[in-house]
Amino acid sequence: MILKRIVLWLAALVCLTASVVAQIQPGRAIIITISGVPAEEKARFDLNYPVSESGMINMPLIGQVRAAGLKADQLQAVLESRYKSAGIYTHPTFQVIDSTAGKIVDQVVVVGGQVRRTGPVPYNRTMTLYQAIQAAGGPTEFGSMKRVKLLRGGQQKQYDLTELKFMQIPLEPDDTIEVPQKTPWGS
């Protein structure tokens, strides 16, 4: 009787531990792949994504998505729903793999908006705002370098990167950069 209780208790403990481990954790990396989209779009998505300490990932075309606390299949469903409801893709299929390697050791800055490759860019201590945008493939023909936003520690600042003095703004790990769409007047 006692042995049976111990076995049941251990089985319950294993199930509880497995469900906690299966959740995506902040500060980890997840691998996301997509199918059901044009081949040229696939390369934009099939990447390692850092989960920020606040639990968010930055996805192409839709921006920030909460990942921490979800299981891989739950995040897959969220991503598919967001891209469908935004009218971006009709039948995307995502695969999410939670990295078990532990904490992310590479430091990154995240570049989004109207750049050729949105997502994380490896950070180095001498990186400037302009260099990070160029590392993301540079602005698209629709991107405005006159109103680039830098998000750091909950604060947002806007810079005109057509002026040399703002091109040299130093970056810090985990900065987020947003290149907005040009206005109808080209700025």
DSSP codes joined into one string, 97-163: EE--S-S--S-EEEEEESBSS-EEEE--TT-BHHHHHHHTT-B-TTB-TTSEEEEETTEEEEE-TTS
pTM reported for the whole predicted model = 0.47
SS3 173: coil
Which pLDDT score is estimated for 5? 46
Whether residue 93 sits in one domain with residue 20: yes
Q: Where residue 143 sits, what CATH number does that domain have?
A: 3.10.560.10
Q: Which of 69, 104, 139 is the last residue of a domain?
A: 104
Please give the average per-residue pLDDT across 65-76, as a whole number. 93
Quick check: 13 pLDDT over 70?
no
Q: Where residue 28 sits, what CATH number does that domain have?
A: 3.30.1950.10
Quick check: 147 pLDDT over 80?
yes
Whether residue 119 sits in one domain with residue 66: no
Whether residue 158 sits in one domain with residue 84: no
Q: Which of 84, 104, 124 is the last residue of a domain?
A: 104
Higher pLDDT, 135 or 19: 135
C-alpha dihedral (129, 131, 137, 143), degrees to nearest 10 = 40
Band of residue 100 on the pLDDT scale cut at 50, 70, 90: low
- Compute the distance between CA of residue 52 and CA of residue 167 in angstroms, rounded to an integer: 26
Instruction: Confirm whether 34 is domain-assigned.
Output: yes
Whether residue 100 sits in one domain with residue 20: yes
Please give the average per-residue pLDDT across 24-44, as a whole number. 85
* Structural domain of 145: 108-179
Band of residue 177 on the pLDDT scale cut at 50, 70, 90: very high
Name the amino acid, one letter, at 176: T
The closest of 67, 30, 68, 69 to 79, measured between CA atoms, is: 67
- Compute the distance between CA of residue 187 and CA of residue 183 in angstroms, rounded to an integer: 5
Which pLDDT score is estimated for 48? 86
* Structural domain count of the chain: 2
Please give the average per-residue pLDDT across 50-57, as a whole number. 89
Band of residue 18 on the pLDDT scale cut at 50, 70, 90: very low
Instruction: Confirm whether 184 is domain-assigned.
Output: no
Average pLDDT, the chain: 84
Please give the average per-residue pLDDT across 41-51, as a whole number. 84
φ/ψ of 31, rounded to 5, equals -105, 125
